[in-house]
Amino acid sequence: MKSSWSRYLFVLSILVTGPKVKTLAQSQEILPIRLMIRTSFGTNVALSPLEKKAVTDNLIKYDKNSFYLQFISGTYFFDSHWGGEITISSNVGGNIDHGDRSFDWALDKKYSDQYFIDYETYDYTTFHSTTGTPLFFKVQTGPVYKIESGKIVVITRLLAGISTLGTDYRSIRLKEKGSNEGFDISYNTKNNSGSNTSFIISPGVSFGYRIFRRIMLTADLGYSGYKIDPEYIEKTTRATTGEVTTKTYRYNSFIHELNLGIGASVVLWQK
């Protein structure tokens, strides 16, 4: 009798716990990714940096020695391989963050032997912003192709969109040493927009490893190509006579960058 009850309880435990064990195993299973979000950061290696070498270079929010920060990207796969992605990112560091200091140093080197220099910025209410767009900002979208083998994931992408980088406004006042002669000099873009917007294209590839079912780490390799083409006007006004002279700095550079970084993804849906 005791043996019959033991067999009965054993069978009952299998019937009760079996489906739960199966469900738990299925919940831990790594399946193909359908929807994920990702963030990443890395360095930009300039292959053809801005080469104007003018004082106004320091007013453009670009630097060949910069880092990129991908705030977030969302990727959805329509089938086991093909999908689409949208991403928002920015370049930071170097002249992007500290261009005003570089500008002051450049003018000091150019004028300090002959003039006393009084640095100023444009009035906020007159020119919308004293520093233009604060960052180098990018929004892109495009197709992606995925190859998965267990925990290994390789994703290639071809993204395109717009890039917007800041173009600062600045002005200075010069007083000639040993005389009363002075000059007011302003630097601003032709349209006073405070930014330069252009088309950007960014093919790339990510090599990923799913350390957990929902978490994947990636090593990222990419390329970015975009144009920098603002037009700066240097306006010089002689204080004693009001005489005005202008000089134009035209930019027309196509920038090529290599992007190297690491990232982390959260798998929201797998199937």
Is pLDDT of 116 > 50?
yes
- Local structure of 210: helix, strand or coil: strand
Q: Is the pLDDT score of 130 beyond 80? A: no
Q: Can you give the pLDDT at residue 142?
A: 97
Q: How far is CA 115 from CA 177, 201, 241, in A?
A: 5, 45, 18
pLDDT score for 129: 37
Asked whether the beta carbons of 49 and 240 are under 8 A apart, the reply is: no
Phi and psi at 13, nearest 5°, equal -65, -35
Residue 185 phi/psi, 5° resolution?
-125, 130
pLDDT at site 239: 86
Q: Is the pLDDT score of 2 beyond 80?
A: no
**Do 34 and 68 contact (CB within 8 A), yes or no?**
no
Most confident of 129-143, 191-205, 221-235: 221-235
Measured in whole angstroms, the distance separating CA 247 from the mean position of its chain's CA atoms is 32
Q: What is the predicted pLDDT for the residue at 77?
A: 97
> Class of 31-270 per CATH?
mainly beta
Domains of the chain, by residue range, sit at 1-30, 31-270
Q: Determine the pLDDT at residue 4.
A: 58
Regarding pTM above 0.85, the answer is no
Lowest mean pLDDT of 3-12, 34-43, 135-144, 200-209, name the range.
3-12
Q: What is the pLDDT of residues 151-198, one digit of tens each?
A: 999 999 999 999 988 888 888 888 888 888 888 888 888 777 677 889
User: What pLDDT, on the 0 to 100 scale, is given for residue 51?
Assistant: 67
pLDDT in tens, 33-74: 999 999 999 999 888 877 667 888 888 878 777 889 999 999
Highest mean pLDDT among 8-12, 18-22, 195-199: 195-199
Mean pLDDT of the residues in the chain: 81
Mean pLDDT of 68-92: 93
First to last CA, the chain: 48
